[in-house]
Amino acid sequence: MPTTLGWTITDWQQAYREGAEPESLISKLLDYLKDTDNAWISRLDDQGLNTAMAELSEHLEEVDGDLAQLPLFGVPFAVKDNIDAVGMATTAGCPAFAYQPGQDAAVVRKLKAAGAVLIGKTNLDQFATGLVGTRSPYGAVSNSFNKKVISGGSSSGSASVVARGLVPFSLGTDTAGSGRVPAGLNNLVGLKPTKGLLSIEGVVPACRSLDCVSVFGLTIHDAALVADCISGFEPADAYSRKAPTALPLDAPAIRRSGPVQRLAIPDSPRFFGDQQAEAAWNTALSQWRQLDTAGIELVPLDFTPMLELAALLYEGPWVAERHAAVEAFMANHAADINTTVRSIISNAGKFGATDTFKAQYRKEELVRQIDTLLSEIDGLLVPTAPIAPTIDAVNVNPVELNSQLGTYTNFVNLADLCALAVPAGFRDDGLPFGVTLISGAWKDRELQTLASQWLNAHPTPLGATDKPRPQEVATYPPAVPMVQVAVVG
Amino acid sequence: MPTTLGWTITDWQQAYREGAEPESLISKLLDYLKDTDNAWISRLDDQGLNTAMAELSEHLEEVDGDLAQLPLFGVPFAVKDNIDAVGMATTAGCPAFAYQPGQDAAVVRKLKAAGAVLIGKTNLDQFATGLVGTRSPYGAVSNSFNKKVISGGSSSGSASVVARGLVPFSLGTDTAGSGRVPAGLNNLVGLKPTKGLLSIEGVVPACRSLDCVSVFGLTIHDAALVADCISGFEPADAYSRKAPTALPLDAPAIRRSGPVQRLAIPDSPRFFGDQQAEAAWNTALSQWRQLDTAGIELVPLDFTPMLELAALLYEGPWVAERHAAVEAFMANHAADINTTVRSIISNAGKFGATDTFKAQYRKEELVRQIDTLLSEIDGLLVPTAPIAPTIDAVNVNPVELNSQLGTYTNFVNLADLCALAVPAGFRDDGLPFGVTLISGAWKDRELQTLASQWLNAHPTPLGATDKPRPQEVATYPPAVPMVQVAVVG
């Protein structure tokens, strides 16, 4: 068993500062990875390791050996297999769809430039269509706490390999909750950034207008560090966005500058009969209420517009974005697509252009309703996943349970919000429970600050590793500063 | 003939300051309007005038007789008949579609609150679908300079009644150029504001995601004053927007703060064989080049991405927005719809949800290309309409000529730009020629400043009235100020 199991990024950095060699640590790690572990779709082979080590040496020479300029020097990571990385096929969870990418996705390129070492590509619900982790010909990924339970998806493998401490961080994608649900079910931090903050260039689209690259980490510190390394405007990606100079001063509180303190919680949270989840939520709420942080306040609120928006994503024409992403492939290889995924994508044919625009109008109306509802609310606090079903249960009822899983995640990207899923204790059955903090676009850092205060007060072990959680950083500076308007010239 | 013919808003204000009575002036004006004038669909009747005068008296009492608080006191105006006003049916140019609105559109409500008096609703290309002014069962509206020539549309009547000096301003709508093309063809100012600045609440949608209320005026001063009176966020309108606190400092020049000075012009402008338009454009360009204004520079540029975006609006799935607006009506009253309009709206059925999302992706890509192209360009200067066809020619070739008319207008709303159409001399055949200034969202005021400098240097008579143009105001303060970022707290 490699000594690196369960190491955070901070641990890896510490080891290198003390003289450890990347090749030695990473080759031991690669030797340990099992062929039977279906969290992986591909892993770095010997030749790939040599190439990676040669590139890393070059990077180090470029900065004259100054490790401080390579914040992720020698840190191994994994990416979901819908993200391009040179030398490993991109399958999107569908072998017949596989292709060899000519270049790295923008986020992979940036991670490598920061010194990180990609060691493998991970399993996923095919075409990132699912929140369960079972819709893959590479096998269902198990929960890292209980083999019979789902990992959650669609970024199932990326969550699993971090939760088990194989790598300190991984990339997922998140359209409807794929970067949050598996974080919640595996005791991880799942960072779902502001849409457009991390480029989706080189990512197989799910819903291109909504897709985000997400980060899984054992700690908030690690996830935030990774996000910082890979954020930034990419002109070639039409959905990449620059942060505004200032957040609007007269916007609803959810979209204004300032700390996230006043949190809406669902006034009648839905758990679909999962009493353990409900009990864990109530325990977490009582802990949040006692949180010794100035200004924190929980406000029960009617989440009807959020739930209607969530349903719109699932039941409305956005499914046609998934069709647009694989249209040519599907026309010739329908039989190669997972039956549940195929059935979902086929729903695209039910919607015409008129339906699409009408649904987009409804979306705008619901977002306006939500903004009005949150005019004096800084953020939302919700259960990350309201249920934690077994793989067998999902196989029997693949669509309804999937839909239930997305109750508190589906609306977020449609409403241009950012989110941070964090551990929140354990259920009586030993499964982890998670909560998600949500706020307006560009307030990612404010969520990190609040979530750090939470985890410092209520630390859980790291993922499924039993390692104790280190103290989180207390404060993250806002990405968009509060400004006073000073007219110039 | 009423003395008020050809009066600007400034003239009306002056008359009231000198003691004129609204009822006297406006009743004379109403008496003068002809039943045979197909620019009008409805006009204020005696009872309507009484009601309007009673309301005006109330407004005046509320402000203790201080006219300065009612900037449009007693100023008559007209609105395009796809904008709701209590007491007059909204037809959208289709008698079978007509309904009696229960309340005024937001913009009409604000105009009345400012003291303005609505005297009629104007003809339009049916459902605002057209740039010609001929697609209406109420008759084709003639150009105010030549009866055989089109007025342009879709806001045909609103342009005609201002150009002929019946009212000093009117409201139109502008989705693809409907507020600019008729301004260009009738020697008017056509203000196409930033999308969301003027609410579309109470307006029959054309393409709801793109629609703008527009303003026709004889002068920039008047159009700008009206826009200021009716701008502002409307929470009930999901497409209404608040101005940002600051424009992005690192955006392309077209979207940054600062005066509009460096103007792109088409490197190979299209006139479709209209040599008079081409000559007028070249004359205007030589005058612009000699404009005695610091910093003005004309930069010939390849407009290919703008033209592709323009074509996307015409040929792509956005036509389904028009279908969404009249779906229920069309299902039962197809025969009541203008054949050209019906044929265009019926194209909605050709597009599925997948096509729609793919076109939206292409739109985002083209906007990114345009932004990159305009990274050092403050604005665009284009011919408002590249042709000025006769009504007969349009009747023979209704779709192609319409499409040519939109060459330099169609892309603007899709790319989130604002525009200001202004007079630019006359063609040899006596028809007016117009140019349009275009810049990024929220830079409406910067366009007004530049256009005022232009008109002060090259004044034309007011509309079709022969009245000389008064000096325009020299400077309009930016709506979004330039800011220095000062971090607070």
Give the active site residue among B136, B142, B154, B231: B154
Q: What is the pLDDT of residues B17-52, one digit of tens each?
A: 999 999 999 999 999 999 899 999 999 999 999 999
Q: What is the pLDDT of residues B385-433, one digit of tens each?
A: 999 999 999 999 999 999 999 999 999 999 999 999 999 999 999 999 9
Residue of A316, A328, A323 whose CA lies nearest to B354: A323
User: Chain B interface, mutation test: which of A354, A358, A446, most B Cβ atoms within 10 Å?
Assistant: A354
Q: A104 near A145, Cβ under 8 Å?
A: no
Cβ neighbours of B309 in A, within 8 Å: none
The pLDDT assigned to B133 comes to 98
Is the bond preceding A178 in cis, omega lying within 30 degrees of 0?
Answer: no
Cβ neighbours of B246 in A, within 8 Å: 244-246, 483, 485
Contact B245 A354 (CB under 8 A): no
Does B154 qualify as catalytic in the annotation?
yes
Q: What is the pLDDT of residues B211-242, one digit of tens each?
A: 999 999 999 999 999 999 999 999 999 999 99
Contact B348 A352 (CB under 8 A): yes
For residue B234, the chain A residue with the least C-alpha distance is: A368
Chain B touched by A315 (CB under 8 Å): no
Contact A354 B361 (CB under 8 A): no
Tokens 């980490």, residue?
A217
Q: Residue B244: what are its φ and ψ, rounded to 5°?
A: -70, 160
Cβ neighbours of A358 in B, within 8 Å: 324
Give the active site residue among A151, A178, A240, A257: A178
Q: Annotate A393-438 with three-state secondary structure.
A: HHHHCHHHHHHHHCCCCCHHHHCCEEEEEEEEEECCCCCEEEEEEE
List the single residue in A238, A364, A483 with the smallest CB-CB distance to B486.
A483
- From the CA of B336, how many Å to the nearest CA of chain A? 21
List the single residue in B239, B242, B361 with the smallest CB-CB distance to A208.
B361
The pLDDT assigned to A484 comes to 59
For residue A478, the chain B residue with the least C-alpha distance is: B487
**CB < 8 Å from A in window 197-256 of B:** 208-209, 235, 238-239, 242, 244-251
Is B443's pLDDT higher than 80? Answer: yes
Chain A touched by B475 (CB under 8 Å): no
Summarize the confidence of residues B190-199 as an average pLDDT. 98
Cβ neighbours of A250 in B, within 8 Å: 242
The pLDDT assigned to A486 comes to 57
Cα distance between residue A5 and residue A168, in whole Å: 9
Cα distance between residue B325 and residue B346, in whole Å: 12
Chain A touched by B317 (CB under 8 Å): yes
The pLDDT assigned to B488 comes to 53
Amino acid at residue number A76: P
Residue-wise over B87-122: b if at least 16 C-beta within 10 A, else e?
ebbbbbbbeebeeebeebbbbbbbbbbbbbbbbbbb
Does B147 qualify as catalytic in the annotation?
no
For residue B485, the chain A residue with the least C-alpha distance is: A483
Q: Say how many CA atoms lie within 13 Å of B380 toward its Cβ.
A: 31
Cα distance between residue A185 and residue A388, in whole Å: 7
Give Cβ neighbours of residue A14 (< 8 Å, ≥ 6 apart).
none
A467-470 contacts, C-beta under 8 A, 24 or more apart: A467/A6, A467/A165, A469/A218, A469/A219, A470/A8, A470/A10, A470/A219, A470/A221
The pLDDT assigned to B295 comes to 85
Chain A touched by B478 (CB under 8 Å): no
Chain B touched by A482 (CB under 8 Å): yes
Tell me the C-alpha to C-alpha distance, in Å, between residue B74 and each of A61, A245, A417, B17, B348.
77, 42, 46, 11, 43
Contact B245 A242 (CB under 8 A): no
Contact A353 B356 (CB under 8 A): yes
Contact B361 A481 (CB under 8 A): no
Between A336 and B294, the higher pLDDT residue? A336
Assign A11 to helix, strand or coil. helix
The pLDDT assigned to A488 comes to 53
Cβ neighbours of A482 in B, within 8 Å: 487-489
Give Cβ neighbours of residue A101 (< 8 Å, ≥ 6 apart).
A84, A85, A86, A89, A90, A202
- From the CA of A4, how many Å to the nearest CA of chain B? 41
Q: Name beta bridge partners: B40.
A: B122
**Mean pLDDT of chain B, nearest integer:** 96
The pLDDT assigned to B249 comes to 86
User: Chain B interface, mutation test: which of A208, A241, A321, A356, most B Cβ atoms within 10 Å?
Assistant: A356
Does B443 qualify as catalytic in the annotation?
no
Q: Tell me whether residue B409 is exposed, middle or buried, using C-beta atoms within 10 angstroms of its C-beta: 0 to 12, 13 to 18, 19 or more.
A: buried
Q: A380 near A263, Cβ under 8 Å?
A: yes
Cβ neighbours of B235 in A, within 8 Å: 368, 372
Counting one residue from chain A and one from chain B, the pairs whose CB atoms sit within 8 A come to 137
Is B248's pLDDT higher than 90? Answer: no
Token readout for A329 is 């492939």
Chain B touched by A37 (CB under 8 Å): no
Assign B58 to helix, strand or coil. helix
pLDDT one digit per residue (tens) for chain A, 489 residues: 889 999 999 999 999 999 999 999 999 999 999 989 999 999 999 999 999 999 999 999 999 999 999 999 999 999 999 999 999 999 999 999 999 999 999 999 999 999 999 999 999 999 999 999 999 999 999 999 999 999 999 999 999 999 999 999 999 999 999 999 999 999 999 999 999 999 999 999 999 999 999 999 999 999 999 999 999 999 999 999 999 989 988 999 999 999 999 999 999 999 999 999 999 999 999 999 999 777 899 999 999 999 999 999 989 999 999 999 999 999 999 999 999 999 999 999 999 999 999 999 999 999 999 999 999 999 999 999 999 999 999 999 999 999 999 999 999 999 999 999 999 999 999 999 999 999 999 999 999 999 999 999 999 999 999 999 999 998 999 999 876 555 554
Contact B356 A357 (CB under 8 A): yes
Chain B touched by A486 (CB under 8 Å): yes
pLDDT band at B482 (very low <50, low <70, confident <90, very high): confident
Residue B333's CB is within 10 A of a number of other CB atoms, namely 14
For residue A360, the chain B residue with the least C-alpha distance is: B209
Q: Name beta bridge partners: B146.
A: none
Chain A touched by B489 (CB under 8 Å): yes
Contact B320 A481 (CB under 8 A): no
- From the CA of B330, how many Å to the nearest CA of chain A? 13
Cβ neighbours of B446 in A, within 8 Å: none
Lowest mean pLDDT among B75-89, B175-189, B315-329, B470-484: B470-484
For residue B478, the chain A residue with the least C-alpha distance is: A487
Amino acid at residue number A328: A
Cα distance between residue A168 and residue A162, in whole Å: 6
Contact A484 B488 (CB under 8 A): yes
For residue A368, the chain B residue with the least C-alpha distance is: B238
pLDDT band at B489 (very low <50, low <70, confident <90, very high): very low
Contact B482 A483 (CB under 8 A): no
Tell me the C-alpha to C-alpha distance, in Å, between residue B439 and each of B254, B261, B433.
6, 11, 21
Cβ neighbours of B486 in A, within 8 Å: 483-484, 486
For residue A326, the chain B residue with the least C-alpha distance is: B354
- From the CA of A488, how many Å to the nearest CA of chain B? 6
- From the CA of B89, how many Å to the nearest CA of chain A? 25
Give me the DSSP letters along B205-272.
-SSTTT-EEEEEESSHHHHHHHHHHHBS--TT-TT--PPPSS--TTS-GGGSSS---EEEEESS---T
Cα distance between residue A10 and residue A471, in whole Å: 12
